[in-house]
Amino acid sequence: MEFMANMADFFPQYFLQTKQWADFWATANKPNHQYFYFENEYFEAYVYEYPWYFGEKFWYVPKGPATKKSFNKDNFKEFYNQILTAAKSQGITYIKWDFDESFTKSLEISSNPQLAKFILEIDENYETRLSSKTLQFLITSTLEIEKLTYDKNPENQYSPERLGTFFNQNLDFWAVTNKNTRRCTRKALQANWQISTEKTQENFEKFWTVYDETRKRQNFSTQSKDYTQQLFNQDFSRVIILSDENGPQSVWFGIASEKTITYIYGGNTTDSFGKFGQYLAHLAALQMILLEGRVFYDFGGYDITKGYGKFKENYKGTIREFLGPIDILLKPLKFNLISFIIRILKFIQRK
């Protein structure tokens, strides 16, 4: 049986599966991080190598593989074995794999148990198990915005006045969003914001000040300032800074890839929340995407149980789920022993 992969029906490959991201990741991390690229007639995938405990290593395939053309189960089995053979030769302990939604939709796989069954049918030589430990978010919300109307060469592209015109030109789009999202976006346009999208060191410092303050207030983990600076310096990163007379108040950080800009970091002061700055930042991001000739706005990680999940849901994008992760155990004895030791150490630390 051949599985159809009509790529026009699906979103572009995720930014984690691009060479520009793989090159950045390998440079920004320590020397014992590297990546490998695999392809055949039907598929392609970037695979990331991480150090593990006690000198062991594991590979990670995030949101892959990308599908090039219609395929059958044997086509994927060949690609799957190509990666596993290479991993064995490199002494890899296990492979963690979460799957591109286009791939699983082509197979009509809609749940992790179905995915686990499919992988078992592909290869019974290695123990596989569904993993509760994720390395990247597996649910996101994506807007398709190609039909929005905008001025390609406006003056003061990101002034509140220009963004207000952009908003009013697309009332049909906003009519689909949540009523509160529309109301808060209008209110944000009424504040006296200065908006900058320039990639300057001054703007990085403004971004980091607000973002780090948000991190401390909300108690979430993030990458180091040095790592974030390196990412900021890449041609494919984007920034939006909203300031008022008291300085930067709302910050937005994204990644540009094929047809898409993905929102990955953001932060707001309490003053920004009072003036709905976060809504204006996303309005500016929508215009940025169109001005660059892209058509998708990916909101990044999505979790409906958290406040930011409800905020993103209100834009009424397509909720996308990447199934997995599945751990493929190439050295099951070492994997199980090290996993047991890790659990014991964590238990002792909690005592």
Q: Which residues of 113-143 are buried (b: 16+ CB within 10 A; e: fewer)?
A: eebbebbeebeeebebeebeeeeeebebbbb
The vertex-52 CA angle with 342 and 257, nearest 5°, equals 125
3-state secondary structure of 201: helix
- From residue 273, alpha-carbon distances to 54, 281, 323 in Å are 46, 12, 34
Structure-token pair, residue 316: 């009424």
Tell me, what's the pLDDT at 259?
A: 95
8 Å CB contact between 247 and 269? no
Q: What is the pTM of this model?
A: 0.93
Domains 2-138+322-350 and 139-320 share a fold: yes
pLDDT digit string (tens) for 8-55?
457 899 999 999 999 999 999 988 999 999 999 999 999 999 999 999
Fold of the domain spanning 2-138+322-350? Aminopeptidase (3.40.630)
For strands 94-99 and 57-64, give the pairing: parallel
Is the per-residue pLDDT at 132 higher than 70?
Answer: yes
**What residues does each domain of the chain span?**
2-138+322-350, 139-320
What mean pLDDT, rounded, does the chain reach?
93
Tell me, what's the pLDDT at 348?
A: 86
Q: Which residue has the tokens 């963690």?
A: 96
Residue range 202-222: mean pLDDT, rounded: 95
Residue range 201-219: mean pLDDT, rounded: 96
Q: Which phi and psi (to 5°) does residue 225 adopt?
A: -65, -40
Is the per-residue pLDDT at 4 higher than 60?
Answer: no
Strands (E) across 131-215 are located at: 139-144, 194-196
Is the per-residue pLDDT at 207 higher than 90?
Answer: yes
Tell me, what's the pLDDT at 2?
A: 57
Which homologous superfamily is 139-320 in? Gcn5-related N-acetyltransferase (GNAT) (3.40.630.30)
pLDDT digit string (tens) for 302-311?
887 776 778 8
Residue range 255-264: mean pLDDT, rounded: 96
Instruction: Specify the range with the lowest mean pLDDT, choosing from 181-185, 198-202, 249-253, 298-302.
Output: 298-302
Is the per-residue pLDDT at 128 higher than 70?
Answer: yes
